[in-house]
Amino acid sequence: MFEEINNSEIREERTLLAGVYGPNTARMQAKDYLDELELLTQTAGGIVIDKILQNRTQPDPSSYVGEGKLREIRGRVNSEHIETIIFDDDLSPTQIRNIEKTTEAKVLDRSGLILDIFASRAKTAAAKTQVELAQLQYLRPRLTRFWTHLSRQQGGIGTRGPGESQIETDRRLIDKRISILKDKLETLEKQRKTQRKGRSDMIRLSLVGYTNAGKSTLMNALTDTKVLAEDRLFATLDSTVRRYDIENYDILLSDTVGFIRKLPHNLIESFKSTLDEVREADILLHVIDATSPMYREYIEVVDETLEDLDIVDKKSLKIFNKIDDLEPHRLAELRKAYPDAAFVSAERNIGLNRLQNDIQDLIERDFVTTTMKIPVAKYEGVAFLHRVANIHSQEYVKSSAEVTFSISEENLLRLKNMLNNVNGESVEKS
């Protein structure tokens, strides 16, 4: 049901972007939102011909923009040969139907556009399944809409994925497909859990951040690998996990999909299993584009999305990336505002040594220092310590290894359970 489309075969569609802002949003902020929507449109294969912003107390329930503005949009559609109108907010089925009827153009809302981008980016079985599930959940309440723009012959933005030529698709068929996809995701998640069990003893770090903040570039710089890193939105969908070596520790570093303002709820739900790499991480590395004038809002978006995913109370480090493109006074202002953050250029390898020290300090921040005698028969305990602890000394006394080390309280408890408390009483160093 999911069809992968080659972006090189998609003709650029002439699009018009529309947004509404009210008492709680400044005009400049609304313009920034449309600029981001333009980037999303370009990512999906569209070319933006025009943009329209309207100041309203609240969106019109029947047409989003009101009759007068809708007539103006229709005029621009005709004069500029616009094929697609994309709105920066989610639209109801009634709004979409009325706008399409008046303008005779294809209409998409923000969620539909983002889902379309994810459909074009999905490569693995898990990502394709997650995106198709999100699309079907998005389409289900919209089955009453004007469907002619979804014909396979027309194609283009918003038509990738399920349901493109089946105008007669009903909720019963969609519900059946949704059930199948959920079962498939459950099977894939069991496989991922099995894979994660094999690395449960390692310290896990996860890169998070707004889309296009440079997470994949930073992963490449830290791990000396070649993860796909492109200057475009949502270059990464699937989780990528690589070994990352810091003195004394075996670490796994993961990178997954970037967050974005108004990320569709269905997409968050579908990608929860992929985002388990973030949920199970010991430390979150929050990568921020230091050059973005909206970086504060992007920080809030990431924090709110993590809260929506019930990922809270984890140790974290803010990392401002792309500092090579900042004026010195702007960099100084950021350092003053965020004294505990790291400042790097992943692309130019600036600040990475300092970042590594910051990460090591964060790993060891809540460590306790302990001496234990571990029987030779329980040597797996010593091996465990070498993966997750900072070893200060180790010597063999008769049939035991006496080890002094610093470790997190969680891993200390795991060690004691592993040893079944055989000669495992810890003695705190003075």
Q: DSSP of 344-385, one letter per residue?
A: -BTTTTBSHHHHHHHHHHHHTTT-EEEEEEEEGGGTHHHHHH
- Give the pairing type, strands 240-246 and 106-108: unpaired
Among 24-33, 177-186, 230-239, 276-285, the least confident range = 230-239
- Indicate if the pLDDT at residue 368 is higher than 80: yes
pLDDT at 311: 87
pTM: 0.79
pLDDT at 83: 95
Q: Both tokens of residue 106?
A: 């294809």
- DSSP-derived letter for residue 140 is G
d(CA 236, CA 251): 21
Chain segment 126-166, per-residue pLDDT in tens: 888 888 888 888 887 776 544 444 444 455 676 665 544 44
% of the chain residues with pLDDT over 70: 83
What mean pLDDT is predicted for residues 105-122? 88
Question: Which residues have a Cβ under 8 Å from the Cβ of 137 and sit 6 or more positions away?
Answer: 178, 266, 269, 270
pLDDT at 51: 95
Give the model's confidence band at 70: pLDDT under 50 very low, under 70 low, under 90 confident, else very high: very high
Amino acid at 128: K
What count of Cα atoms within 13 Å lies in the side-chain half-sphere of residue 282?
23
Closest to 373 (Cα-Cα) out of 392, 407, 398? 398
- Indicate if the pLDDT at residue 27 is higher than 80: yes
Q: Both tokens of residue 121?
A: 């980016």
Question: Which residues have a Cβ under 8 Å from the Cβ of 243 and sit 6 or more positions away?
Answer: 223, 250, 251, 252, 253
Distance of CA 309 to the CA centre of its chain: 11
Chain segment 245-298, per-residue pLDDT in tens: 887 787 899 888 788 888 877 777 777 766 778 888 889 999 999 999 899 999
Distance of CA 33 to the CA centre of its chain: 19
pLDDT at 302: 93
- Give the pairing type, strands 249-255 and 203-209: parallel
- Phi then psi for 59, rounded to 5 degrees? -60, 145
Sequence length of the chain is: 430
d(CA 64, CA 80): 21
Chain segment 396-430, per-residue pLDDT in tens: 888 889 999 999 888 898 898 888 754 444 444 43
- Indicate if the pLDDT at residue 232 is higher than 80: no
pLDDT at 243: 87
Domains of the chain: 7-150 (3.40.50.11060), 198-363 (3.40.50.300), 368-428 (3.30.70.240)
Tell me the pLDDT of the chain averaged across its residues: 83
Closest to 373 (Cα-Cα) out of 325, 408, 421, 328? 421
pLDDT at 56: 93
Chain segment 373-398, per-residue pLDDT in tens: 998 888 889 988 988 888 999 998 88
